[in-house]
Chain A
Amino acid sequence: MEGRPKDESELFSRAQRGDTAAYEEIVQRYQLVAFRTAYVITGSAADAEEAAQDGFVKAYRALGTFRSGAEPRPWLLKIVANEARNRVRSAGRRHHLELRLAERFRPGDAAPSPEAEVVAADDARRLLDQVNALSEEDRLVITSRYLLELSGEETAAALGIPEGTVKSRLSRALGRLRTTLGEVSRA
């Protein structure tokens, strides 16, 4: 995910003064996390692209509400995630999100990654299968926090819930995931 360059607040200040080039740089920096967050919510790459685009346009118009010195990622993610949820609501259905392992990590691939930390291919597939099989609420919080690597504040903004709720929801979701993984390994 993107880093947080020191001139971020300067970029936002310039954008707030109407500098569209500064805002384009903001879009460039945050489009990856915005698009993936929208993808996790909508389950569709096409919907995620539209939601992220609409979110960035709305964020531009709402730049006046951005407090100087505040963290930009939660602010932007909140707007983009709202767009994504609105899109799901208006469509009346959500595509089922089915996350996949990148090809080089799939079981049976000849050359395993050299990094020692990489979870063994079979274990990775088993874990991802169980994440995919979680309830929507559990899957959203685990995917946002661990697979999108959002902070607690960013997860709260993306899911539209208080940070305290993220913690309790995450704890329960991890508990259920542990249980199902235990059942699978015993079977």
Chain B
Amino acid sequence: MPELEQQLNTLAAQIEWPATPNLVPAVRSRITARVVLRAPWYQSRWALAAAALVIALAALVAYQPSREAIASWINVHVLFQRVHVIPTPSPLPPGPLGQRLGLGNQTTLSDAQKGVTWHVVVPSKLGDPDEVYLQLPPTGSAQGEVTLVYSTRPDIKVAGETGVSVLVTEARGAVDRNFFGKMLGPGTTVEEVTVAGHRGYWIAGSPHDFYFTDANGSFRSETFRLATNTLILDFGGTIVRIEGNLTKAQALEIAASLR
């Protein structure tokens, strides 16, 4: 080895480095009890004020005399028409299931696996999925989201008018019960469960929204597609959601068969 490189190698042992801090406690607290630092946008004062204004205006517009007064005041002839908004998740218009439920592009299990970096787990209890969807960023979660669709399965009632018995959705990220638990509506309960060493939550009732931190550490909210009982599982950094008209025992049995 040339002399200069030899001297540099020897010099390495003579350097005074700053003391290395013990990072374990701080990292542990951040990966086990993640705290949402920023309140969601709809909790801001401005959003609440805007919502109050919208509600007030909607009330005025809904009431026919004031509606006509407003139209007269702004001196235009406006036809206020009530639009029937299709409730989510059912009943739903016809069309491809993935489009109706916002699941992304239909694909095969092997192609979905090629499209993401993690191992896509499949519950053997339900057999092969009837349809597979892949949703990539920017609409999907960081590192993508895979959904397995199971239509009719024995002993599982089809949810709403979706024609779906069970949806299994997978994305990389982490969940924080302290946060998403507070966002669930009345009549919905959360129970902590463990399946084959993986921590999870059994959410019974009619949950609609789900909050988690995706693979980039970004806060993300999603709507449960079926608004049914749901099991959420942290499968080694992959969040697996099992939605359907399932009993807790059925959901745990499906989760235990994830491979």
Contacts and interface: CB of A to CB of B under 8 A. Distances in A.
B235 interface: yes
Task: Determine the interface band of chain B, counting residues with CB < 8 A from chain A.
Answer: 35 or more
B24 interface: yes
Interface in B191-241: 197-199, 213, 215-217, 234-238
Contact of B7 (A17, A53, A58, A119): A119
Nearest to A59: B27
B15 A64 contact: no
Contacts, number: 132
A181 B32 CA distance: 51
A174 B23 contact: no
Contact of A18 (B8, B17, B117, B199): B199
Contacts of A52: 23
Given A45-B18, A61-B217, A119 B10 contact: yes
A21 to B, nearest CB: 9
A64 B237 contact: yes
Nearest to A25: B24
A117 B10 contact: yes
Given A65-B117, A127-B7, A174-B5, A102 B32 contact: no
Contacts of B15: 99-102, 128, 147
A8 interface: no
Given A27-B23, A36-B17, A16 B11 contact: no
A63 interface: yes
Interface in A140-172: 142, 146-149
Task: Determine the interface band of chain A, counting residues with CB < 8 A from chain B.
Answer: 35 or more
B259 interface: no
Contacts of A133: none
Contact of A35 (B21, B28, B32, B143): B21
A128 B216 CA distance: 39
Interface string B13-31: 1111110111110111011
Interface string A30-64: 01101110010000010011001100111011111
5 contacts: A53-B26, A61-B215, A100-B16, A102-B14, A147-B8
Interface of B: 4-5, 7-18, 20-24, 26-28, 30-32, 117-119, 143, 172-174, 197-199, 213, 215-217, 234-238
